[in-house]
């Protein structure tokens, strides 16, 4: 039974809930059982002078010096308390600093810490780096399209048909691959693309639409397109080639926009600042893209020896670029609506011309025929795309100047 | 009884935090039914799958906290205005901006620090109410509109946050928030408030349970708070590690404005959870002190020690004579916080006085840092202690051996403790020292440093020395090595204490008691009406659930309606108490 007396020895702590049971004794006393039983005078002698070592007038100051980084960056006392505990300071240690517990010690340290130093500038959100994969992939549609156009020019008859089909397929796949990654990719891949059909229609119209409309107004078309630019249903390959080549500059300008916007994000103090800084950036990027597209169009026209339809290609390019830029920043709804409306308008113009051939419907086509005979077939897509692009530009200046559009992507842990 | 178990990055997942404890609890309380509501923490965690669930888990509903599918909810004009109001109020509370109180008073010296610790002390009751009102306002809005994920990510949210940060009375650190900080805070709040957008609070979800048990504080308690708000389900919060403290330690690199706002949010959320919970349990005194500090009432605090499975240690614990009288054992994960260097120095001291002593260090390194530390310790041991042999013709070896569990020498954990006469713990930082409890279950006397929950675990059954004091450690060890009788006495006392306090059974029993206590005090939320429409008092006590499985596949009727002979009662729901006093209390 004598053994149970051991449990009540004063040097062993009384149990849970009584952390202060030893009431402010220095830690040295805790070793007393060992000392008494070992009865080592040497050790006891050593320990005596060690006691006043920390007995300076202000023990907290030394502690604060040791944890000064913690004190300087703490936003409230509990943060200091958590940090101190992580460094092994307990309530019993806190008694050495004449505090009841770590919390009150932390409060004193928080109150005494100097937080005058300027807050370190918040690290800019890492701007996305240009990466080789998307940079190369965006070159692919242009290259393949150029190859397809060359193949169509060099072949005849049925092989030309095969070349055109293969070229279309290749360009479509390349475009899909190019838009899957890089700055023009959609933020959430899971959502289905809403505007793919209508984008395809718009591009197809740029390729075939003017010839069809011309032919329709003149009473045709009498034959299927042959693939030649001078046939009865001419193929206008220049805008499509220029647009395909413009994939790369579109991706680069979008990348530039993202990177610059991130930098502005880090530099601006409030949301108004940010909007004011991003608006000219957006317009500049847009103008840059149009400039590059113009150059590409000129070069393509010269290479293919065709007239360059500047107005309709530039409006279509602007529309597609803005739509993709908005989609890439998470605003997929408005671009989808606008693209659908534009494509519907173009389709309606064609349909009206064909409907007017029915008896009694002749009046329907008057506006379209007037347009086509006065200014040419290109005015229909120019007007449709121009209005749509303008609408999207206004929308983009409102949406893309918001800070939330440029929030760094969530880390998917 | 039907219990909604709320976890965050925890129970049913293989890599969950407190899965072992939750699993034992669910299996141990087979007479109750559990609905598990789990928030998962990462894609990786979801991919790893669940641990096998016992049959009394009726269902598991999960929601990701790491990604949000855009809910495509477009708020109407009125809903938008309500959102801006509620979120603005929330942001104002977080930034410390005063709603109507004059900011002059707190502009005085030290005002910032007083305001900063306001939530911690529970001193600012009106502020806590504003937070609660804003939170529940957002929750109601989310319930009506179907989700707030889009709204919380929108520009309106960022703009509201900015306005709150620039408002008069906002803390200095918060006022310096820049645009990236605002975006970071908005994104974090959106993630943290994601439970608001879940559809868990209907009558087929948390509305149907008798009790919500949040397995950790913080985000896991949020669904419980909402269930309590919407349907009056009582809430029990269990914290083995304080979630708020983890938050402070886990986000050290963010800018001050972000840390300040997020700390305020988590602090207020914790305070709200403690205030609304019927009972808050802590794993040890340390956690309990933090909870008290964050505003938990002393009356609702209970300490429920974690339970350990005593069976693997029973054989060793009942045969104390198998110990080698000259061996010290250290068991744990090797990492710098364990301060093995100090242990080695202490052992050098011990060897001077007891030359035949050996030290076994058993454990695997934790991470790259741990591996480096283990290498460092091996080198130090080789330098301090030369290899030694029994005689001139024997091969020698080092008195300090580094081993791992699972080898031929030590097939199980209990063997490690069994091989030594004294178990040593030399940590400088420690939470709840599992290895000490294991040593106690093995009936081994312990010498440990005074860190974390060591003192309350040990009680009087071992020797406690200050940390970073090799000489004290050595003296305590030598004292025990020289005194076999005292060793045996203390070892037996340690085993008795551990069997009394730290077994799985006591843990489960404690929670069972708390469940019954809470339910007995909770108001009846559903009354059973007889055929004339008059209420039948005491028709559905919480304990009426017979602990067997009915063959008939209508569990809900059995659970709610009582036994089959009870003449098919009509179920009705009492009206939920008005929401205003709920938030304002």
Mean pLDDT of chain B: 81
Helices B256-276 + B125-145 axis angle, to 10: 90
DSSP assignment letter at B539:
S
Q: What average pLDDT does this structure show over A120-135?
A: 66
The verdict on B337 and B381 lying in the same domain is yes
pLDDT at B425: 92
Does the pLDDT value for residue B105 go beyond 60?
A: no
How much of chain B exceeds pLDDT 90, in percent? Answer: 28
Last residue of a domain, one of B157, B192, B227: B192
| Yes or no, beta carbons of A404 and B153 under 8 Å apart | yes
Q: What average pLDDT does this structure show over B301-313?
A: 89
The verdict on B319 and B405 lying in the same domain is yes
Residue B526 β-bridge partners: B573
A410 contacts on B by Cβ (under 8 Å): 66-67, 187, 191
User: Which residue among B154, B248, B486 places its CB closest to the CB of A82?
Assistant: B248
pLDDT at A190: 57
pLDDT-derived band at A226 (thresholds 50, 70, 90) equals low
Domain count across chain B? 4
The verdict on B338 and B473 lying in the same domain is yes
How many whole angstroms separate alpha carbon B91 and alpha carbon B261? 8
pLDDT at A119: 54
Q: What average pLDDT does this structure show over B256-277?
A: 90
User: Which residue among B179, B263, B337 places its CB closest to the CB of A75?
Assistant: B263
Residues in CB range of B248: below 8 A, 6 or more apart: A78, A79, A82, A83, B263
B456 contacts on A by Cβ (under 8 Å): 15-17, 19
Q: What is the per-residue pLDDT across A327-360, written as a single tens digit (0 to 9) for each?
A: 888 888 888 899 999 999 888 888 888 888 887 7
Q: What is the per-residue pLDDT across B506-531, written as a single tens digit (0 to 9) for each?
A: 999 999 999 999 888 877 666 666 77
How many whole angstroms separate alpha carbon B261 and alpha carbon B255? 10
The verdict on B320 and B438 lying in the same domain is yes
How many whole angstroms separate alpha carbon B439 and alpha carbon B414? 8
pLDDT-derived band at A189 (thresholds 50, 70, 90) equals low
User: Which residue among B178, B293, B468 places its CB closest to the CB of A269?
Assistant: B178
Output the six-digit token pair for B77.
């004009």
A14 contacts on B by Cβ (under 8 Å): 460
| Yes or no, beta carbons of B183 and A407 under 8 Å apart | yes
| Yes or no, beta carbons of B162 and A33 under 8 Å apart | no
Q: Which residue has the higher pLDDT, A57 or B3?
A: B3
pLDDT at B385: 87
pLDDT-derived band at A121 (thresholds 50, 70, 90) equals low
pLDDT at B280: 93
pTM: 0.79
The DSSP secondary structure of A261-310, one letter per residue, reads: HHHHHHH-SSHHHHHHHHHHHHHHHHHHHHHHHHHHHHHHHHHHT----H
The verdict on B482 and B340 lying in the same domain is yes
How many whole angstroms separate alpha carbon B492 and alpha carbon A8? 15
pLDDT at A63: 87
Residue B464 β-bridge partners: B448
The verdict on B467 and B340 lying in the same domain is yes
pLDDT at A38: 38
Does the pLDDT value for residue B550 go beyond 60?
A: no
Q: What average pLDDT does this structure show over B235-259?
A: 85
Alpha-helix runs per DSSP H in A39-128? 41-50, 59-66, 68-73, 77-86, 91-94, 102-112
Residue B327 β-bridge partners: B358
Residues in CB range of B372: below 8 A, 6 or more apart: none
Does the pLDDT value for residue B111 go beyond 60?
A: no
| Yes or no, beta carbons of B66 and A412 under 8 Å apart | yes
How many whole angstroms separate alpha carbon A281 and alpha carbon A261? 8
The verdict on B426 and B556 lying in the same domain is no
Sheet holding B211-214, edge to edge: B57-64, B33-40, B2-8, B211-214, B235-239, B279-282, B301-303
- Show the domain range for B576: 523-584
Phi and psi based region of residue B68 (left: phi greater than 0; alpha: psi -120 to 50; beta: remaining): beta
How much of chain A exceeds pLDDT 70, in percent? Answer: 77
B66 contacts on A by Cβ (under 8 Å): 410, 412-413
Contact B177, B257 (CB under 8 A): yes
Residue B243: CATH number of its domain: 3.40.50.2000
Does the pLDDT value for residue A89 go beyond 80?
A: yes
B178 contacts on A by Cβ (under 8 Å): 122, 266, 268-269
pLDDT at B344: 93
To test the contact with chain B by mutation, choose from A11, A17, A90 the residue with the greatest count of B C-beta atoms within 10 A, namely A90
| Yes or no, beta carbons of B485 and A270 under 8 Å apart | no
To test the contact with chain A by mutation, choose from B115, B342, B455 the residue with the greatest count of A C-beta atoms within 10 A, namely B455
Sheet holding B526-529, edge to edge: B535-536, B526-529, B570-573
Closest CA to A14 of B432, B459, B465, B437: B459
- The burial class, CB within 10 Å (0-12 / 13-18 / 19+), for B144 is exposed
Task: Using CA coordinates, name the residue in chain B closest to A75.
Answer: B260
Minimal CA separation from A10 to chain B, in Å: 9
Task: From residue A353, give the alpha-carbon distance in Å to each of A205, A232, A340.
Answer: 15, 18, 20
Does the pLDDT value for residue B431 go beyond 70?
A: yes
User: Which residue among A119, A191, A407 places its CB closest to the CB of B187?
Assistant: A407
User: Which residue among B116, B180, B486 places its CB closest to the CB of A76?
Assistant: B116
Q: Which residue has the higher pLDDT, B468 or B574?
A: B468
The verdict on B375 and B430 lying in the same domain is yes
| Yes or no, beta carbons of A119 and B466 under 8 Å apart | no
The verdict on B344 and B475 lying in the same domain is yes
User: Which residue among A35, A90, A413 places its CB closest to the CB of B42?
Assistant: A413
Contact B28, B506 (CB under 8 A): no
pLDDT-derived band at B549 (thresholds 50, 70, 90) equals low
A84-93, A197-206, A215-224, B352-361 — most confident range: B352-361
State whether the Cα torsion A173-A178-A179-A180 is positive or negative. positive
How many whole angstroms separate alpha carbon A290 and alpha carbon A288? 5
Last residue of a domain, one of B148, B166, B192: B192
DSSP assignment letter at B304:
-
Q: What is the per-residue pLDDT across B468-482, written as a single tens digit (0 to 9) for each?
A: 889 999 999 999 999
ipTM associated with this complex:
0.80
pLDDT at B110: 38
Residue B334 β-bridge partners: B365
How many whole angstroms separate alpha carbon A311 and alpha carbon A387? 12
The verdict on B268 and B351 lying in the same domain is no
Does the pLDDT value for residue B539 go beyond 70?
A: no
Does the pLDDT value for residue B7 go beyond 70?
A: yes
Helices B256-276 + B221-231 axis angle, to 10: 50
pLDDT-derived band at A393 (thresholds 50, 70, 90) equals very high
Residue B38 β-bridge partners: B7, B62
Does the pLDDT value for residue B331 go beyond 70?
A: yes
Does the pLDDT value for residue B195 go beyond 70?
A: yes
Q: What is the per-residue pLDDT across B385-408, written as a single tens digit (0 to 9) for each?
A: 888 777 788 787 888 989 888 877
Sheet holding B463-465, edge to edge: B400-403, B358-362, B324-331, B420-425, B445-449, B463-465
- C-alpha of B446 from chain center: 26
How many whole angstroms separate alpha carbon A311 and alpha carbon B546? 80
pLDDT at A283: 93
């Amino acid at each position: 039974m004598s053994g149970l007396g051991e449990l009540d020895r004063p040097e062993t702590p009384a149990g849970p809930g009584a952390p202060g049971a030893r009431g402010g004794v220095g830690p040295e006393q805790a070793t007393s059982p060992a000392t008494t039983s070992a009865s080592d005078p040497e050790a006891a002698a050593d320990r005596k002078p060690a006691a006043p070592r920390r007995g300076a007038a202000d023990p907290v100051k030394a502690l604060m010096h040791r944890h000064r980084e913690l004190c300087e960056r703490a936003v409230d006392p509990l943060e200091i308390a958590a940090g101190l505990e992580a460094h092994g300071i307990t309530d019993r240690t806190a008694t050495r600093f004449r505090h009841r517990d770590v919390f009150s010690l932390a409060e004193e340290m928080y109150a005494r810490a100097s937080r005058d130093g300027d807050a370190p500038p918040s690290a800019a959100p890492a701007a996305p780096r240009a990466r080789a994969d998307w940079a190369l992939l965006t070159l692919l549609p242009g290259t393949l399209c150029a190859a397809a156009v060359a193949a169509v020019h060099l072949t005849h008859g049925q092989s030309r048909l095969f070349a055109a089909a293969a070229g279309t397929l290749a360009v479509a796949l390349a475009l899909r691959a190019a838009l899957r990654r890089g700055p023009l990719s959609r933020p959430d891949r899971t959502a289905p693309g809403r505007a793919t059909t209508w984008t395809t229609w718009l591009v197809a119209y740029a390729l075939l639409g003017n010839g069809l409309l011309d032919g329709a107004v003149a009473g045709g078309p009498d034959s299927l397109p042959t693939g030649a630019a001078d046939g009865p249903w001419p193929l206008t390959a220049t805008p499509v080639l220029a647009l395909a080549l413009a994939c790369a500059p579109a991706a680069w300008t979008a990348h530039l926009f993202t990177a610059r916007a991130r930098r502005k994000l880090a530099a601006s103090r409030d949301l108004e600042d940010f909007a004011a800084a991003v608006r000219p950036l957006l317009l500049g990027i847009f103008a840059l893209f149009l400039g590059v597209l113009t150059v590409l169009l000129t070069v393509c026209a010269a290479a293919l020896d065709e007239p360059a339809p500047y107005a309709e290609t530039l409006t279509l390019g602007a529309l597609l670029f803005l739509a993709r830029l908005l989609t890439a920043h998470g605003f997929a709804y408005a671009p989808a609506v606008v693209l659908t409306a534009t494509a519907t308008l173009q389709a309606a113009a064609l349909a009206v011309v064909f409907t007017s051939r029915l008896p009694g419907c002749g009046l329907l086509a008057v506006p379209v025929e007037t347009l086509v005979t006065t200014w040419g077939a290109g005015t229909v897509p120019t007007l449709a795309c121009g209005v749509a692009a303008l609408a999207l530009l206004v929308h983009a200046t409102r949406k893309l100047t918001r800070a939330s559009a440029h929030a760094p992507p969530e880390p998917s842990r | 009884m039907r219990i909604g178990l709320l976890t965050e990055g925890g129970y049913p997942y293989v890599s969950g935090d407190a899965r072992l404890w939750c699993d034992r609890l669910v299996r141990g309380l087979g007479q109750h039914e559990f609905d598990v509501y789990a928030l998962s923490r990462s894609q990786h965690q979801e991919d790893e799958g669940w641990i096998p669930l016992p049959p009394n888990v009726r269902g598991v509903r999960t929601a990701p906290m790491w990604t949000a599918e855009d809910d495509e909810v477009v708020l109407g004009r009125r809903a938008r205005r309500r959102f801006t109001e509620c979120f603005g109020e929330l942001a104002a509370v977080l930034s410390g901006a005063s709603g109507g109180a004059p900011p002059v008073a707190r502009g005085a010296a030290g005002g910032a620090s007083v305001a900063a610790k306001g939530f911690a002390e529970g001193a600012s009751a009106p502020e806590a109410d504003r937070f609660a009102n804003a939170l529940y306002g957002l929750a109601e809005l989310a319930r009506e509109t179907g989700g707030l994920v889009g709204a919380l990510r929108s520009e309106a949210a960022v703009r509201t946050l900015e306005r709150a940060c620039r408002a008069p009375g906002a803390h200095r650190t918060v006022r310096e928030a820049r645009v990236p900080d605002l975006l970071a805070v908005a994104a974090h709040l959106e993630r943290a408030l994601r439970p608001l957008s879940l559809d868990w609070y209907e009558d087929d979800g948390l509305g149907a349970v008798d009790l919500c048990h949040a397995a950790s504080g913080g985000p896991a308690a949020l669904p419980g708070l909402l269930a309590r708000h919407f349907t009056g389900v009582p809430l029990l919060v269990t914290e083995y590690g304080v979630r708020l403290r983890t938050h402070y330690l886990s986000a050290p690199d963010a800018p001050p404005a972000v840390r300040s706002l997020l700390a305020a949010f988590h602090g207020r959320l914790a305070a709200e959870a403690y205030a609304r919970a019927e009972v808050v349990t802590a794993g040890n005194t340390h956690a309990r002190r933090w909870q008290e500090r964050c505003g938990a009432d002393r009356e609702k605090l209970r300490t429920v020690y974690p339970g350990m499975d005593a069976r693997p240690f029973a054989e060793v614990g009942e045969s104390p004579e198998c110990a080698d009288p000259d061996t010290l054992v250290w068991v744990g994960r090797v990492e710098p916080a364990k301060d093995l260097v100090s242990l080695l120095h202490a052992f050098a001291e011990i060897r001077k006085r007891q030359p035949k002593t050996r030290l076994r260090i058993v454990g695997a390194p934790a991470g790259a840092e741990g591996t480096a530390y283990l290498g460092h310790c091996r080198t130090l041991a080789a330098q301090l202690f030369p290899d030694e042999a029994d005689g001139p013709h024997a091969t020698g070896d080092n008195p300090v051996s580094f081993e791992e569990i699972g080898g031929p020498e030590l097939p199980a954990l209990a063997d490690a403790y069994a091989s030594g006469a004294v178990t040593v713990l030399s940590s400088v930082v420690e939470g709840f020292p599992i290895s000490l409890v294991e040593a106690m279950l093995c009936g081994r006397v312990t010498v440990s440093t005074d860190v974390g929950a060591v003192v309350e675990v040990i009680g009087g059954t071992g020797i406690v020395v200050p940390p970073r004091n090799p000489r004290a450690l050595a003296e305590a060890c030598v004292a025990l090595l020289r005194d076999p009788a005292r060793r045996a006495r203390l070892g037996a006392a340690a085993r008795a204490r551990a069997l009394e306090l730290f077994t799985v059974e006591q843990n489960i029993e404690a929670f069972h008691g708390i469940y019954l206590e809470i339910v007995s005090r909770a108001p009846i939320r559903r009354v059973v009406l007889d055929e004339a429409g008059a209420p039948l008092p005491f028709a559905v006590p919480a304990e009426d659930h017979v602990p067997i499985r009915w063959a008939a596949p209508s569990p809900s009727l059995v659970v709610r309606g009582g036994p089959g002979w009870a003449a098919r009662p009509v179920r009705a729901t009492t009206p939920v108490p008005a929401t205003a006093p709920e938030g304002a209390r």
